[in-house]
């Protein structure tokens, strides 16, 4: 009969032959036998036998298995001794080979790293606007509240107090003078302070300087202020005061950098003062960098404790954001621990199946649950240790996310194994190791399918160029894989020991203590949740009238999510990274409200350009005779279209100022006629003569050797009352001189972006600057020349990721889905259509995640991309177990097979993932960190709810419509295994 059955199986559709082994097939589930069916059945049988034999071995030799598992954990975890944690945002968000990273390294190497900034934004809430009435004539001029003279004196006192702040580092005193940017040092050691008070030489006496008689004031600080905002580089205003405007540090103070809240260019209407202290950034000198950070700490403490009822101060130091992030992380440690504790407690309690209160401590599985959770944590520790051995640095995202991930994707395996055993009946003459081996053979292929799919998907996600995603994927893939290994070895052995303890009627945890006298043997039982899924939920969900409703609802959700897919914002609002009670939040608010200039941007012309020829000069300069599409002219034109280009101001051009400086009509460029050495304009000496004669030829621009002869003099000349064009303060770092001043290397032309508030503003500013630089490179004919023009600003390295984040998202999720498809095809026994259904469902979950992100205001960035990759892995858990149960079911119609699959796997998936994660996620809602609230609580909640609804509602209904036909070879193998046994009804899905 069996031979006849097999022959019939291969030649035509199966028809019942013997009542004992026949099964009915609904017309909708008929189909010819596929050539892959025998192969799939053979592979399925091989996996089943392999895991059954392995499970029996683990139960028979628990001591050896547990010891080897602990040794493996210890060996891997010992790598934590070499752990390195990456906190540098540059290394975290920017790939080493990215364009912004390469340009940053070029800029740092040629011009030095961008300075650190300490900044205050000051308002005078109790002061009122006043009007200045010039004498003897002139229109009245309104002045904003912070420009009252008494307020300016108070602000000057504050500024002076900050200059005098001292900090201690390694028993040494650190002052601002030790770390500040002093461009004229050592001739002039005054620190660069960008403040309106530098118009008054940071002096109370100059601020009080006025000219008048007993009746009228002809000129005072109002007069000087109005002059200086128009000519900030002047060394002698034209009023009766004749005070200089140039800052004490030797450079000009542009009004748009030190005043805020004015309209148009009416700087006198300012409602806020901005004071900036640039500090040297000792990028490659840890000792000096820590000295600067020590002073910044003292600065923060001083301003926090500064009391002046007339001033409202918003401020930040360079280290403020990193400090607040660390404080935020430390503040949420308790929240994270509580979240873990809730999940651990649930797992420990939910694993047990309590039949009566008398047997509470016998039937509970607290010790087994704790062991399962410890394996999860051990797998994370092993992953960290292995990659620490390999020198891969750890990131905070890995620490915060991976334990949640491994708990989500690992704990359900524990639930499936334990709960399947609890529902199982030991066969007559079967030993415990044989029973557990058989149970493991039933469920382990499904566990292997989900875990291996996730592992491969995560490891392939490591191909991402985004460092945060790359590191996360590697650590996550290894952690999931090790967790599966520990579950298949150590946990199986511990489960066997726990069953023996329960059979001997001993208490959980206190295994040496006996339990109630009426213990008895362990009986197969079904949990309330299992019975609910089998008797109520599954039949209701798969009723004929319910299934179309389910499909319609989920297709509607999918359609909505597709419609808003391109509306999800890209970026990360920097204020979200701060705690709600952070002083930096006030600074961000003031920044967007009062500032009129954004970050500085440098247009860098790489080494290789010829500045000594007339053609080379015309391609760069912006004055008379220069090309209309020269470098400087194009940036100037871009500044005229600031709303579009995000370039706010005309560039500072060293080459144009050099040409003005060297003109024979000016008194700037002079040399000693005997030594040919530079003679400063302030020197009174008959031996000093003009560099170039007052002849038509001398008035021409210098070229060739003349250009290089006088350029070093220009770059070393300090501004003075006789010549304010000296380039030492403004351009000493802007020009690289080669070969002892015989050639010009890389140079930059600096300007400022417009005010940038949102991530979209920063991203757009970078894109536009690169477009401008690319156009300059083309019009200068530099393409293919080996050097080019590129823009650099300090924020580019952080925001460049958003230029490619969409491509990175598509790549990572596509690779993950592809990996899941291939692994699912193989491990489901070459069930191609089943793999397609699994991947379609996971894709629907991912698309729906974007719909939730749009609804909940979650932007797309590296953090949310990590979560999306994680949700792809978690979705496998929700889908693969149900799908595999469907494929091995021998029920007749698709509806019956879907109902059976949902009945047997639904409760384990629901209790193992959904409920496990839900308790821990709810706790995250109380985190102080906005990042935790938005990117962890909201996204975790969404991925669990979407995964649960798609896996436990949509997928069974989809399978009931278009699920794969019965694999007849598998069905035959199943019938042969369980034919004639009382377990047929239980395990014959």
The whole-angstrom separation of Cα 866 and Cα 875 is 14
Supply the mean pLDDT for the chain.
Answer: 82
Residue 502 pLDDT: 76
201-205, 572-576, 737-741, 909-913: range with highest mean pLDDT: 201-205
Q: Are 149 and 221 in contact, with CB atoms under 8 Å apart?
A: yes
Question: Does residue 433 lie in a domain region?
Answer: yes
Cβ neighbours of 441 (radius 10 Å): 21
pLDDT reading at 898 higher than 80: yes
Evaluated on CA atoms 316, 318, 320, 325, the torsion sign reads positive
Q: pLDDT-based confidence at 635, cuts 50/70/90?
A: very high
Backbone torsions φ then ψ of 524, nearest 5 degrees: -60, 135
What is the bridge-based pairing of β-strands 743-752 and 735-738?
antiparallel
Tell me whether residue 402 is exposed, middle or buried, using C-beta atoms within 10 angstroms of its C-beta: 0 to 12, 13 to 18, 19 or more. buried
The whole-angstrom separation of Cα 611 and Cα 630 is 13
**Adjacent-strand bridge partners of 782:** none
Q: In 3-state terms, what secondary structure has residue 211?
A: strand
Greater confidence (28 vs 933) lies with 933
Tell me whether residue 205 is exposed, middle or buried, using C-beta atoms within 10 angstroms of its C-beta: 0 to 12, 13 to 18, 19 or more. exposed
Question: Does residue 942 lie in a domain region?
Answer: yes
Q: What percent of the chain has pLDDT over 90?
A: 31
Question: Does residue 26 lie in a domain region?
Answer: no
The whole-angstrom separation of Cα 667 and Cα 730 is 19
Domain identity same for 814 and 946: yes
Q: Are 811 and 460 in contact, with CB atoms under 8 Å apart?
A: no
Domain count within the chain: 3
- pLDDT, one tens digit per residue, over 969-989 is 555 655 555 444 444 443 443
Domain identity same for 811 and 775: no
Angle at alpha carbon of residue 840, lines to 932 and 870, rounded to 5°: 25
pLDDT reading at 24 higher than 70: no
**Adjacent-strand bridge partners of 312:** 123
- pLDDT, one tens digit per residue, over 538-555 is 888 888 899 999 999 999
Q: In the chain, count of helices (H) and strands (E)? A: 41, 18
Q: pLDDT-based confidence at 22, cuts 50/70/90?
A: very low
Cis amide prior to 445 (ω within 30 degrees): no
Locate the DSSP E strands across 658-760.
670-672, 688-690, 735-738, 743-752
Counted residue by residue, the chain has a size of 989
pLDDT reading at 797 higher than 80: yes
Question: Which secondary-structure segment (H or E) carries 712?
Answer: helix 704-716
Question: Does residue 554 lie in a domain region?
Answer: no
Domain boundary among 801, 832, 857: 801
Domain identity same for 400 and 270: no
Domain identity same for 346 and 488: yes
Q: pLDDT-based confidence at 450, cuts 50/70/90?
A: confident
Question: Does residue 526 lie in a domain region?
Answer: no
Q: Which residues contact 374 (CB under 8 A, 6 or more apart)?
A: none
Torsion angle, alpha carbons of 940, 942, 948, 954, to 10? -150
Of 308, 318, 317, nearest to 157 by C-alpha is 308
Residue 124 pLDDT: 93
Residue 913 pLDDT: 66
Domain identity same for 923 and 779: no
Q: Are 630 and 619 in contact, with CB atoms under 8 Å apart?
A: yes
Question: Does residue 624 lie in a domain region?
Answer: yes
Residue given tokens 């940017």 in the structure block: 181
The whole-angstrom separation of Cα 161 and Cα 506 is 73
The whole-angstrom separation of Cα 535 and Cα 899 is 10
Question: Does residue 551 lie in a domain region?
Answer: no
Q: Are 852 and 858 in contact, with CB atoms under 8 Å apart?
A: yes
Residue 971 pLDDT: 58
Q: pLDDT-based confidence at 522, cuts 50/70/90?
A: low
36 alpha carbon, distance to own chain's centre: 44
- pLDDT, one tens digit per residue, over 362-408 is 666 778 888 888 888 899 889 999 988 888 887 766 776 777 767 76
Give the HSE-up count for residue 312: Cα atoms under 13 Å, Cβ half-sphere.
Answer: 11
Q: Which residues contact 434 (CB under 8 A, 6 or more apart)?
A: 56
Q: Are 749 and 654 in contact, with CB atoms under 8 Å apart?
A: yes
Locate the DSSP E strands across 338-464.
394-395
- pLDDT, one tens digit per residue, over 398-446 is 776 777 767 766 677 787 788 778 777 777 877 888 888 888 888 888 7
Which range, of 215-229, 466-480, 599-613, averages the lowest pLDDT?
466-480
Greater confidence (534 vs 291) lies with 291
Domain identity same for 795 and 811: no
Evaluated on CA atoms 266, 267, 268, 273, the torsion sign reads positive
Tokens of 631: 């470098």
Produce one character per residue of 795-818: b if its CB has 16 or more CB atoms within 10 Å, e if not. Answer: bbbbbbbbbebeebbebbbebbbe
Residue 431 pLDDT: 86
Cβ neighbours of 304 (radius 10 Å): 10
SS3 of 898-934: HHHHHHHHHHHHHHHHHHHHHHHHHHHCCCCEHHHHH
Q: pLDDT-based confidence at 791, cuts 50/70/90?
A: very high
Domain identity same for 270 and 148: yes
Domain identity same for 380 and 423: yes
Backbone torsions φ then ψ of 414, nearest 5 degrees: -65, -45
Question: Which secondary-structure segment (H or E) carries 495?
Answer: helix 492-503
The whole-angstrom separation of Cα 140 and Cα 633 is 37
The whole-angstrom separation of Cα 808 and Cα 804 is 6
The whole-angstrom separation of Cα 746 and Cα 605 is 6
Domain boundary among 288, 317, 346: 317
Q: pLDDT-based confidence at 12, cuts 50/70/90?
A: very low
Backbone torsions φ then ψ of 359, nearest 5 degrees: -100, 20
- pLDDT, one tens digit per residue, over 747-763 is 999 999 998 888 889 99
Domain identity same for 332 and 460: yes
Q: pLDDT-based confidence at 699, cuts 50/70/90?
A: confident
Q: In 3-state terms, what secondary structure has residue 218?
A: strand
Domain boundary among 801, 836, 871: 801
Domain identity same for 612 and 680: yes
Greater confidence (859 vs 7) lies with 859
**Which domain covers residue 673, as residue numbers?**
597-801
Q: pLDDT-based confidence at 25, cuts 50/70/90?
A: very low
Cis amide prior to 136 (ω within 30 degrees): yes
**Adjacent-strand bridge partners of 748:** 604
Q: What percent of the chain has pLDDT over 70?
A: 87
Domain identity same for 788 and 811: no
Domain identity same for 781 and 860: no
Q: pLDDT-based confidence at 4, cuts 50/70/90?
A: very low
- pLDDT, one tens digit per residue, over 655-666 is 999 999 998 888
Question: Does residue 641 lie in a domain region?
Answer: yes
| CA distances (Å), origin 538, targets 283, 954, 960 | 63, 12, 12
- pLDDT, one tens digit per residue, over 289-341 is 889 999 999 999 999 999 999 999 999 998 888 787 777 666 666 777 777 77
310-324, 578-592, 598-612, 693-707: range with highest mean pLDDT: 598-612
Q: Are 129 and 142 in contact, with CB atoms under 8 Å apart?
A: yes
Cβ neighbours of 6 (radius 10 Å): 12
Residue 654 pLDDT: 93
Produce one character per residue of 940-952: b if its CB has 16 or more CB atoms within 10 Å, e if not. Answer: bbbbbbbbbbbbb
Work out the widest C-alpha separation in the chain, in whole angstroms: 129
Q: Are 718 and 251 in contact, with CB atoms under 8 Å apart?
A: no
The whole-angstrom separation of Cα 692 and Cα 715 is 17
Which range, of 1-5, 47-51, 533-537, 718-722, averages the lowest pLDDT?
1-5
The whole-angstrom separation of Cα 949 and Cα 927 is 26
Which range, of 152-161, 352-361, 777-786, 940-949, averages the lowest pLDDT?
352-361
Q: What is the DSSP letter of 757?
A: -
Backbone torsions φ then ψ of 73, nearest 5 degrees: -60, -45
């Amino acid at each position: 009969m069996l031979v006849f059955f097999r022959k019939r199986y291969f030649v035509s559709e199966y028809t019942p032959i013997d009542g004992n082994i026949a099964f009915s097939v609904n017309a909708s589930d008929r189909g010819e036998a596929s050539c892959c069916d025998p192969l799939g059945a053979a592979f399925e049988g091989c996996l089943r036998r392999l895991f059954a034999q392995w499970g029996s071995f683990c139960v028979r030799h628990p001591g050896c298995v547990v010891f080897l598992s602990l040794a493996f954990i210890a060996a891997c975890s010992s790598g934590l001794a070499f752990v390195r944690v990456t906190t540098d945002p540059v290394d975290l968000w920017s790939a080493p080979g990215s364009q912004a990273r390469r340009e940053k390294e070029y800029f740092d190497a040629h011009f030095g790293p961008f300075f650190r900034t300490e900044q205050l934004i000051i308002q005078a809430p109790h002061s009122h606007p006043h009007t200045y009435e010039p004498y003897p004539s002139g229109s009245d001029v309104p002045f904003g509240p912070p420009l009252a003279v008494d307020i300016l004196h108070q602000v000057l006192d504050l500024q002076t107090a900050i200059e005098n702040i001292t900090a201690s580092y390694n028993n040494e005193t650190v002052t601002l003078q030790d770390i500040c940017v002093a461009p004229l040092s050592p001739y002039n050691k005054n620190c660069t302070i960008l403040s309106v008070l530098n118009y008054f030489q940071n002096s109370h006496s100059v601020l009080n300087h006025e000219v008048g008689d007993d009746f009228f004031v002809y000129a005072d600080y109002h007069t000087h202020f109005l002059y200086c905002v128009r000519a900030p580089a002047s060394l002698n205003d034209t009023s009766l005061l004749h005070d200089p405007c140039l800052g004490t540090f030797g450079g000009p103070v542009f009004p748009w950098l030190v005043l805020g809240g004015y309209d148009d260019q009416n700087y006198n209407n300012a409602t806020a003062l901005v004071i900036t202290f640039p500090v040297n950034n000792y990028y490659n000198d840890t000792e000096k960098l820590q000295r600067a950070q020590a002073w910044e700490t003292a600065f923060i403490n001083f301003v926090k404790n500064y009391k002046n009822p007339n001033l409202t101060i918003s401020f930040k130091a360079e280290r403020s954001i990193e400090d607040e992030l660390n404080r935020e992380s430390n503040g949420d440690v308790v929240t994270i621990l509580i979240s873990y504790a809730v999940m651990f407690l649930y797992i420990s309690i939910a694993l047990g199946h309590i039949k009566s209160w008398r047997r509470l401590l016998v039937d509970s599985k607290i010790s087994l649950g704790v062991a399962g959770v410890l394996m999860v944590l051990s797998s994370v520790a092993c992953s960290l240790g292995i990659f620490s051995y390999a020198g891969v640095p750890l990131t905070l995202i890995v620490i915060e996310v991976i334990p949640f991930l491994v708990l989500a994707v690992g704990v359900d395996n524990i639930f499936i194994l334990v709960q399947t055993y609890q529902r199982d009946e030991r066969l007559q003459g079967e030993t415990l190791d044989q029973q557990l081996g058989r149970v493991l053979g039933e469920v382990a292929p499904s566990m292997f399918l989900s875990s291996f799919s996730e592992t491969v998907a995560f490891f392939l996600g490591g191909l991402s160029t985004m460092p945060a995603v790359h590191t996360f994927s590697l650590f996550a893939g290894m952690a999931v894989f090790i967790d599966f290994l520990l579950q298949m070895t150590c946990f199986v052995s511990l489960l066997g020991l726990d069953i023996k303890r329960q059979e001997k009627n001993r208490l959980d945890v206190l295994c040496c203590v006996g339990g109630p006298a009426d213990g008895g043997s362990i009986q197969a039982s079904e949990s309330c949740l299992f019975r609910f899924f089998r008797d109520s939920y599954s039949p209701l969900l798969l009723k004929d009238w319910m299934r179309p409703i389910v499909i319609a609802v989920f297709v509607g959700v999918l359609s909505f999510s597709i419609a808003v897919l391109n509306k999800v914002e890209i970026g990360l609002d920097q204020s979200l990274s701060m705690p709600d009670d952070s002083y930096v939040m006030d600074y961000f608010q003031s920044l967007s409200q009062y500032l009129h200039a954004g970050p500085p941007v440098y247009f860098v012309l790489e080494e290789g350009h010829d500045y000594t020829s007339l053609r080379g000069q015309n391609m760069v300069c912006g004055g008379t005779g220069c090309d209309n599409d020269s470098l400087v002219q194009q940036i100037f034109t871009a500044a005229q279209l600031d709303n579009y280009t995000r370039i706010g101001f005309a560039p500072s051009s060293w080459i144009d100022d050099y040409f003005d400086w060297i003109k024979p009509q000016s008194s700037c460029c002079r040399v000693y006629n005997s030594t040919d050495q530079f003679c400063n304009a302030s020197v009174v000496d008959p031996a000093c003569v003009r560099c170039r004669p007052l002849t038509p030829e001398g008035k021409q621009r210098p070229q060739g050797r003349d250009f290089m002869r006088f350029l070093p003099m220009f770059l070393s000349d300090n501004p003075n009352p006789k010549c304010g064009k000296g380039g030492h303060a403004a351009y000493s770092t802007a020009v690289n001189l080669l070969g002892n001043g015989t050639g010009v290397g890389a140079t930059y032309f600096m300007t400022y972006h417009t005010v940038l508030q949102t991530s979209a503003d920063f991203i757009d500013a970078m894109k536009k600057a690169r477009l401008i630089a690319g156009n300059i490179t083309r019009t200068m004919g530099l393409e293919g020349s080996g050097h080019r023009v590129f823009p650099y600003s300090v924020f580019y390295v952080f925001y460049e990721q958003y230029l490619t984040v969409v491509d990175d998202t598509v790549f990572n999720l596509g690779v993950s889905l592809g990996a899941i498809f291939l692994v699912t095809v193989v491990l489901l026994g070459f069930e191609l259509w089943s793999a397609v259904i699994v991947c379609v469902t996971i894709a629907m979950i991912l698309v729906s995640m974007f719909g939730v992100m749009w609804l909940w205001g979650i932007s797309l960035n590296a953090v949310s991309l990590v979560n999306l990759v994680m949700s792809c892995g978690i979705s496998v858990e929700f889908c693969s177990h149900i799908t595999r149960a469907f494929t091995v079911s021998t029920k007749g119609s698709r509806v019956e097979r879907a109902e059976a699959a949902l009945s047997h796997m639904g409760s384990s998936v629901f209790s193992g993932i959904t409920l496990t994660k839900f308790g821990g996620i709810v706790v995250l809602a109380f985190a102080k960190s906005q990042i935790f609230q938005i990117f962890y609580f909201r996204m975790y909640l969404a991925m669990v709810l979407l995964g649960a609804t798609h896996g436990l509602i949509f997928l069974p209904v989809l399978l009931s419509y278009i699920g794969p036909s019965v694999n007849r070879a598998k069905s035959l193998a199943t019938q042969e295994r369980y034919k004639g046994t009382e377990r047929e009804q239980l395990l014959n899905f």
